[in-house]
Amino acid sequence: MSEQRRGLVRVEQGLKRVRVYFGGHVVADTTRPLLVWEVPYYPSYYLPLADVEPDVLVPTGDTEHSPSRGDGVLYTVKVGDAEAPKAAIRYPSSPIEELRDAVKLDWQAMDAWFEEDEEVFVHPRDPYSRIDILPSSRQIRVEVDGVVMAETTHARVLFETGLPPRWYIPKVDVRLDLLEPTTTRSMCPYKGTAEYWSAEVADGRVEDIAWSYRTPLPESERIASLVCFYAERSDLFIDGEAQERPKTKFS
């Protein structure tokens, strides 16, 4: 996989077939996607202009400047009566040569994205990130403001690149009477859609402290319906030893 760096932007040649659906039609189909890290946490797809259906891109006359990528030309994506205003951008004079003949489609504005024949969600999967889920008989205890919220020797620990280990606990070992469901939802391209709980403790309410994946994606089925607490905002004990709270973007 070739790689080019320009300032804070990293560009690599992807190896997967990528298809994009909008308005009931395939608007892009390529085996030459570019993975572009515009932010440190995950890549975006830039697709060769030649592999995007030409009649779906309608110029808006607007531009958008990026300090790293240059001046971008904005397009509306249109298929029949379906329109996604300003949902495509191209940098024809970019200082990053690889981007000049590529188009970025707004992920959320499109109907569906496929890598090979599998639908993917949220953003492209990072080829340098992986998930391992392992059963563990270590004693796990989670406290929030001194209140024991969960205790088990039947956890499953999820190792995800760039994040601290996450301990997923069976609901029978969680004080569900101290948890209240919230309307918060988040999506992960590796795990699926998470639902959240807040904790009711003596010192008040701790918002969205725990989450669970009711129906995770296939690679994460081993954590289905288990509960995990943010180690950044709770106290985790492993075999009786207090763990230092990790510093992450969720702290």
**For 18-57, what is each residue's pLDDT tens digit?**
999 999 999 999 999 999 999 878 899 999 999 999 899 9
Answer yes or no: is pLDDT of 210 > 80: yes
pTM of the complete model: 0.81
Q: How confident is the model at residue 98 (pLDDT cuts 50, 70, 90)?
A: very high
CATH superfamily, domain 3-120, is Domain of unknown function (DUF427) (2.170.150.40)
Could you tell me the residue ranges of all domains in the chain? 3-120, 131-242
Over the chain, what HEC string results?
Answer: CCEEEECCEEEEECCCCEEEEECCEEEEEECCCEEEECCCCCCEEEEEHHHECHHHEEEEEEEEEECCCEEEEEEEEEECCEEEEEEEEECCCCCCHHHCCEEEECCCCCCEEEECCEEECCCCCCCCCCEEEEEECCCEEEEECCEEEEEECCEEEEEECCCCCEEEECHHHECHHHEEEEEEEEEECCCEEEEEEEEEECCEEEEEEEEEECCCCHHHHHHECCEEECCCCCEEEECCEECCCCCCCCC
Q: What is the mean pLDDT of residues 194-200?
A: 95
Task: Please tell me the predicted confidence (pLDDT) of residue 2.
Answer: 46
Answer yes or no: is pLDDT of 1 > 70: no
Cβ 223 vs Cβ 168: under 8 Å? yes
Closest CA to 126 of 92, 162, 100, 158: 162
Question: Comparing 3-120 with 131-242, is the CATH topology the same?
Answer: yes
Residues forming a β-bridge with 152: 140
Task: Please tell me the predicted confidence (pLDDT) of residue 59.
Answer: 96
Answer yes or no: is pLDDT of 144 > 50: yes
Q: What is the mean pLDDT of residues 129-148?
A: 95
Q: Please tell me the class of the 131-242 domain.
A: mainly beta
